[in-house]
Amino acid sequence: MEEKGEQMLSIVVGGFYGDEGKGKIVGYLALEDSPDYVVRAGGGPQAGHTVAEGKKVTQIPSGFINRNPRLLIARGTVIDPRIVLKEIESHGVENRIGIDYGCTIIEPKDLEQALELVKRIGSVGTGTGPARVNRIWRRAKIAKDIKSLRPYLTDVAEEVNEAIKSGKRILVEGVQGYGLSLLNHQFYPYVTSQDTTASQFAADVGIGPKAIDEIIVVYKAYVSRVGKGPMSFEWTEGKMKQSGIKEKGTVSGRPRRLGDFDKALARESLIGNTGTQAAITCIDRLFKGNSGIREFDKLTKEAQDFIEAINSFFKNESSYFNGITLVSTGPNPEDTIDLR
């Protein structure tokens, strides 16, 4: 993001199958860059973000970790009132959060219908997909219909566009990852219930493409995926044990499948998002001896070479790309190398 005081709108998106560490990156940017607004765009309670050790959210923006920004849940987000109200209370953001009037509501019947998706494609089962189906059929309830949400209701598109006009700094938090897009034929039907690119998240918020200044695509140093579906370069059980890496989904709690960094998918997601920056996470897990490092030249040579190779590859593939700007070396926001 630019110098404090200059208007800036950035969107953070996932480059693989979700699980890339977007919550940690959004948390870091919220603390380091002090945006005026942090906006959650898209997804539902199936899209969990871990902001720091012991701090996870599924509905409110990961930027809650900074106590100053206005927090917004955009119209393209599907919400479960029970979950969103619990997160609002538990993180003490009652006085600074807004929920768009038009957010689609998950009802008990949606949770029942989600069970079929759990069995067939490995869905997380939070009811997000069935709720979207009801929205398409024009029979879903939306946030303005729910009494318990009324204290928080706002027009997010209006707020954000007014903030842009006023020169405010805005951070938009996308969800899941490029390889889970409903519109991507390569992975269908093992996908989520919406598109997962920056274009979609802009529409979810209610802004046009010219309002976007930076698009930050987040990649893990290796690939992980929860549930069924294709995944190139997947590790064998033996390699997973050798790596010493074990992960579970933030929401589902299911073991994540792991694999090598997928350059072809990374290239496609960088181009498909017109990414201007990239963040690389979990360097400390893939390359031992890098935990908590905050300066690039203090990383091990193997880790430096890995990052530099990806950076060169991306620069050759996209004219929009300006470089890898953030490297995560641990679970907490301060465990970050900032190359901006």
Q: How confident is the model at residue 47, as a pLDDT?
A: 65
3 occurs within a structural domain: no
| Proportion of the chain above pLDDT 90, given as a percent | 81
Give 122 or 21, the one with higher predicted confidence: 21
Residue 148, domain CATH:
3.40.440.10
In this structure, are residues 216 and 244 in contact, taking their beta carbons and an 8 Å threshold?
Answer: no
Lowest mean pLDDT among 135-139, 250-254, 272-276: 250-254
Measured CA to CA in angstroms, residue 4 lies from 8, 65, 339 at distances of 9, 19, 17
Query: Is the predicted pLDDT of residue 4 greater than 60, yes or no?
Result: no
Q: Which residue has the higher pLDDT, 56 or 206?
A: 206
> Does residue 116 register a pLDDT over 80?
no
Residue 334 in this model has a pLDDT that exceeds 90: yes
- Say what angle helices 301-317 and 263-272 make with each other, to 10 degrees: 50
Is position 2 within any domain? no
Flag whether 1 is in a domain: no
If pLDDT is split at 50, 70 and 90, which confidence band does 127 have?
A: confident
- Quick check: 31 and 4 in contact, CB under 8 A? no
Contact 308, 55 (CB under 8 A): no
Per-residue pLDDT at 246:
84
* Structure confidence by residue, pLDDT tens digits, 37-94: 999 999 998 767 888 777 889 899 999 999 999 999 999 999 999 999 999 999 999 9
Gap between the Cα atoms of 214 and 336, Å rounded: 19
Paired tokens of 82: 């029970």
- pLDDT value at 213 more than 70: yes
Dist. CA 60–CA 39, nearest whole Å: 9
CA dist 170 and 308 (Å) reads 29
pLDDT of 53 = 76
Q: Kindly report the pTM of this predicted structure.
A: 0.93
Q: How far is CA 259 from CA 70, 151, 231, 232, 236, in A?
A: 37, 45, 8, 7, 9
Query: What 3-state DSSP class applies to 76?
Result: coil
Q: Is residue 262 part of a domain?
A: yes
What distance in Å separates the CA atoms of residue 180 and residue 20, rounded to the nearest whole number? Answer: 12
What is the domain count for the chain?
1
| pLDDT tens digits, one per residue of 277-324 | 999 999 999 999 999 999 999 999 999 999 999 999 999 999 999 999
Write down the mean pLDDT value for the chain: 93
Residues carrying an active site annotation: 19, 49
- The set of residues, in sequence order, having a beta carbon less than 8 Å from that of 63 and lying 6+ positions away, is 26, 27, 29, 30, 35, 38, 69, 71, 171, 173
* Domain contains 207: yes
Q: Which of 34, 35, 41 is nearest to 9 (CA)?
A: 35
Asked if residue 247 belongs to a domain, the reply is yes
**Token pair in block for residue 301:** 């040579």
Mean pLDDT score, 266-281: 98
Owning domain of residue 60: 8-338
DSSP state of 46: T
CA atoms of 12 and 258, how far apart (whole Å): 22
Residue 311: per-residue pLDDT: 98
Which SS3 state, helix, strand or coil, does residue 139 take?
coil
Residue 251: pLDDT above 70?
A: no
Residue 184 lies in a domain: yes
E strand intervals along 15-68: 37-40, 49-52, 55-57
- Residue 247 is predicted with a pLDDT of 84
Considering the domain boundaries, does residue 329 fall inside one?
Answer: yes
- Residue of 283, 281, 266 whose CA lies nearest to 15: 266
CB atoms within 10 A of CB 120: 11
**Whether 19 contacts 224, CB under 8 Å:** yes
Angle, nearest 10°, between helix axes 156-165 and 198-205?
100
